[in-house]
Amino acid sequence: MCGLFGALSFDGNAINAEHAVSMSARVAQRGPDDKGEYFDGPVMLGHRRLAIIDLSAAGHQPMQDSSERYSIVFNGTIYNYPELRTTLIDKGYQFKSQSDTEVIINAYACWGDACVERLHGMFAFAIWDSKQQNLFLARDRMGIKPLYYAVLARGFYFASNPQALLATGLFATDIDPVGLHHQLSLHAVIPAPRTLIKSIKKCRPAFHVNVTSGGKLTEKRYWSLMAKRPA
């Protein structure tokens, strides 16, 4: 279990560093082994690490690929990462660690959004493409790993829990009555994308989200029970 968080400004301004500190503190219990933040123009990525695969410093997050175009924060485990790593090495991609995090970032560099169709495991992650100025987020097929987000006119924020988003002080805490109804009638389960709080959404299982620096947000389902395994 790790904690991730981040933000993308729509007005080109840098994200307030105090927001990174506040958000990091609210996911600290998810990752006691390491922490890190990454700032690049309008984007901020942050991570609290629970080291499971590749316990060395090479698994530190946020992590960049060898070209430094892509940066990632990741929570979860990719079960088929050894096979994907071998495939990517055969395609010429380089690795400096034994982590599944690095497999994901190279998979994204290779296959783009479609990389998630090849991932078998439980995961939530965000990848920043500094060239395209695009933030890509994805959640595993069953929604095992949590991923929340909130949108303002001036920016997009995400985290492993709602508390990290509320810690910024930017979002209203009005209760979503439909979410409350689900909470009280569905054994404490609130179907995504709703949460108890109107301003905060959950990324839906088996969906990925693209957010541009210009403020355009698109969601897409990448898997269903009828899906075929990529060749």
Over the stretch 124-163, which tens digit does the pLDDT of each residue have? Answer: 999 999 999 999 999 999 999 999 999 999 999 999 999 9
The answer to the question of residue 105 being in a domain is yes
Q: pLDDT tens digits for 24-36?
A: 999 999 988 889 9
The answer to the question of residue 137 being in a domain is yes
Per mean pLDDT, which range of 54-58, 64-68, 122-126, 219-223 is the poorest?
54-58
Q: Is the dihedral of CA 54, 121, 21, 217 positive or negative?
A: positive
The answer to the question of residue 190 being in a domain is no
* Active-site residue flag, 2: yes
The answer to the question of residue 187 being in a domain is no
Structurally, the chain folds into a number of domains equal to 1
The answer to the question of residue 180 being in a domain is no
**pLDDT band of 50, cuts 50, 70, 90:** confident
**pLDDT band of 59, cuts 50, 70, 90:** confident
Amino acid sitting at position 41? G
The answer to the question of residue 231 being in a domain is no
The answer to the question of residue 184 being in a domain is no
The answer to the question of residue 155 being in a domain is yes
Describe the crossing of helices 100-111 and 81-90 by its angle, rounded to 10 degrees: 50
**pLDDT band of 186, cuts 50, 70, 90:** confident
Burial bucket for residue 52 (CB in 10 Å: 0-12, 13-18, 19+): middle
Give percent of the chain with pLDDT exceeding 90: 86
Q: Which domain does 126 fall in, by range?
A: 3-171+200-221
> What is this structure's pTM?
0.94
Query: Rounded to an integer, what distance in angstroms lies between the CA atom of residue 201 and that of residue 150?
Result: 6
Q: Which of 2, 110, 115, 203 is catalytic?
A: 2
Q: Tell me, what CATH number does 209's domain have?
A: 3.60.20.10
